[in-house]
Amino acid sequence: MKEETPAARPTAAQRHPEGTHNDHSPVAVGPGLLQFGDVIAVARGGALVFIPEDAERGIVASRKIIEELANDVRPHYGVSTGFGALATVQIPPEKRAQLQRSLIRSHAAGAGQEVEREVVRALMLLRLNTLASGRTGVRLETVQAYVRVLNAGITPVVHEYGSLGCSGDLSPLAHCALAVMGEGQVRDASGALRDASEALEEAGITPIVLAEKEGLALINGTDGMLGMLILALDDLDRLLRIADIAAAGSVEALLGTDSVFAADLQELRPHPGQAKSAANMSRILADSGLIARRVSGEFTRVQDAYSLRCSPQVHGAARDTVAHAAQVARIELGSTVDNPVVTRDGRVESNGNFHGAPVGYVLDFLAIAVADVASISERRTDRFLDTARNHGLPPFLAADPGLDSGLMIAQYTAAGIVSELKRLAAPASVDSIPSSAMQEDHVSMGWAAARKLRKSVDGLSRVLAIELLASTRALDFRAVDGSAGAPGAATTAVHALLRQKIARPNTDEFLSPTITSATEYVQSGAILDAVEGAIGALS
C-alpha cells in the first residue's frame, strides 16, 4: 500500500478572501465556515477541502468525552448500546468495534439506480461539515479519511432508494461510510467502477476501522436532502432568470406589450420576486421594435393573455419560494445534525434534530413552483403554434404548413413534461411511513422530495428550451415579413446563439437533436451569458 500523505492544508493566502471558491480553491470545512458556493465548488467543480486547526482541536476534545463514556457502566446510546428499536441491548466493550462495523454494513441497503456524482460529493461534504463541528465525538483520523476520499475524487456508489429522511439519510450515508471502510464499490476520479479497497489503496488512503459512536455519527444526518436542495437552488438561480428571458422573448415575438411590466405597477403589489422578474423583462424588451406601444391616433393591443402578462407574478412567486428555501438551507448548513450529540458542556444527549421535515417541506414547495413556471412557459409556446393567437405567424411555425409540421410535436413534448412535473409536485413530505419496529414511527421522506425535485428542475430546463425554440423561430418569420420591426439586443443575442447549432425554419428535419441543443444552451447557462453580455446582469 502507498504511504498515506496528510490532508492538504492550504495557507490563508491560498484561500479566497471572501469565503467563496472556484473549482481550484480549497474549501475550509469547520463550524460556521461552509457556504452554498463551497458546496457547489466541491460537488460540481471538484474543489479540494481541508479542516482548519481550530476545528481539529474541537474534534479531538469531543472524542475524549466519548472515550470516557465508553468505560462508563451506564448505557449510552450509540456508544454501548444497539441502535433504533435495539437501543435497549447492552453491548460489551470487546464487541463495540463490531457493533459500528455491523451498523454500516446493515444500513448500506440501497437499491435502484446510482445517484449522481455531484449529489454524493455534496452529501459527503455536508456530513464532513457536521463531523468537523466537534459535536459528534468522532476521531480526527476518521474526519481526515473523509477529506482524503473527497480530495482523491473517489465517489462511493449510492443508490436511489433507501432513505426515509429520518433518522436522516441513513442508507445513502452508510454507503459512503462503507466505502471509507474499504468495502463496497466506488467510482474513481475517472468515473470507473472499482472495489473501494482497490481505489483507496491506489490513492494511498488507509481504510478506517470505526470506534465507539463513529458509525452512528457517519450516517445520522440530513446531508443528502440538503445537498440536493443546495444544488437545486444553484440551478434555479440560473433557470428563473432564463425563464424571464424566455417570457420576454415570447412577448416580443408575439408582438405583445411591455407596459404591464412597469415598476410602478409592480409597486402596487410589492412582492420582491415579482419586482425582479418584471424589471428583467422590462430591460430585455426596452429597445425592441417588435413591442406594441401606444401611439397617439393608433390602436394597439392594450393587454396580452395571462401567460404573457402575468409572467412576473408566476416567476416572482417562484423566486420568493426559492428565497424561503435558501433561508432554510442556510440554517441547516450551519447546524449539527447527529444523534446523540456532544454538547458544549460535555453532555452526550439524544435528540430529534435528524428529522428532515424542515428540508423536506421546502423541497416539496420548490417542486410546486417549478411545475408552475414550466406550465406557464408551455402555454406561451402553444400560442406561437395557433394562427388564431400568434398574430400572423404560420401554423405550428412550419416552413410549409401541411407538408411540414414545424414545432407541433415539440409542444407535445413540453406538454408531456409539464404533466409529469405536476405529478412530481405532489408532496412527498406528507407521506410518512413507520419503521424500526415503530421506534421511528414518523419520518420526513425528504430524500424522496429531493429526488423528485431534481427531475423537476431538469424538466423545467427542457420546457424553457422549447419555448426559446419557438420564439427564435418566430423571429425568423417576422424578419421575412419585414413589417413588424427589429427585435431588441437581448433577443437578438439569444437568436444568434441558437443559430450556431440550430438552422432557420426549413423543411422538417429530425427534431429531437434540435431540442437537445436548445436544452444544452439552457442548462449550461449559455443563454443567460448571451443576454447578460448584451444588456448587463439580470436580477
| Whether residue 155 is found in the same domain as residue 35 | yes
| Whether residue 267 is found in the same domain as residue 394 | yes
Distance, in Å, from the CA atom of 310 to the CA atom of 188, rounded to the nearest integer, reads 48
| Whether residue 251 is found in the same domain as residue 395 | yes
Quick: pLDDT tens for 331-366: 999 998 888 888 888 888 888 888 888 999 999 999
pLDDT at res. 76: 67
Closest CA to 514 of 526, 503, 529, 527: 503
| Whether residue 134 is found in the same domain as residue 67 | yes
Task: Mark which of 161, 187, 221 sits at the end of a domain.
Answer: 221
Is the residue at 3 inside a domain?
Answer: no
Say which CATH number the domain at 423 has.
1.20.200.10
Q: For the purposes of burial, counting CB atoms within 10 Å of the CB of 87, is it exposed (0-12), middle (13-18) or buried (19 or more)?
A: middle
| Whether residue 270 is found in the same domain as residue 155 | no
Domain hosting residue 188, numbered range: 12-221
| Whether residue 213 is found in the same domain as residue 272 | no
| Whether residue 526 is found in the same domain as residue 454 | yes
Task: Mark which of 194, 221, 248 sits at the end of a domain.
Answer: 221
Task: Mark which of 177, 193, 221 sits at the end of a domain.
Answer: 221
Q: What is the DSSP-derived secondary structure letter of residue 81?
A: B
pLDDT at res. 436: 74
Distance, in Å, from the CA atom of 265 to the CA atom of 278, rounded to the nearest integer, reads 10
Residue 419: asked if its preceding bond is cis (omega within 30°), the reply is: no
Distance, in Å, from the CA atom of 378 to the CA atom of 319, rounded to the nearest integer, reads 19
pLDDT at res. 87: 66
| Whether residue 504 is found in the same domain as residue 457 | yes
Say which CATH number the domain at 46 has.
1.10.275.10
| Whether residue 248 is found in the same domain as residue 178 | no
- Specify the number of domains making up the chain: 2
Quick: pLDDT tens for 78-123: 666 666 656 667 777 777 778 889 999 999 999 999 999 999 999 9
Residue 56 CA: distances (Å) to CA of 63, 105, 146: 11, 28, 14
The residues carrying an active-site annotation are 77
Q: For the chain, which residues score pLDDT lower than 50? A: 1-23
Closest CA to 185 of 199, 171, 174, 173: 199
| Whether residue 182 is found in the same domain as residue 321 | no
Query: 275-280: long-range contacts at Cβ-Cβ below 8 A with a sequence spacing of 24 or more?
Result: 275/312, 275/316, 276/316, 276/319, 276/539, 277/240, 277/243, 277/244, 277/311, 277/312, 277/315, 277/316, 277/319, 277/539, 278/312, 278/316, 279/539, 280/241, 280/244, 280/245, 280/248, 280/538, 280/539
| Whether residue 93 is found in the same domain as residue 118 | yes
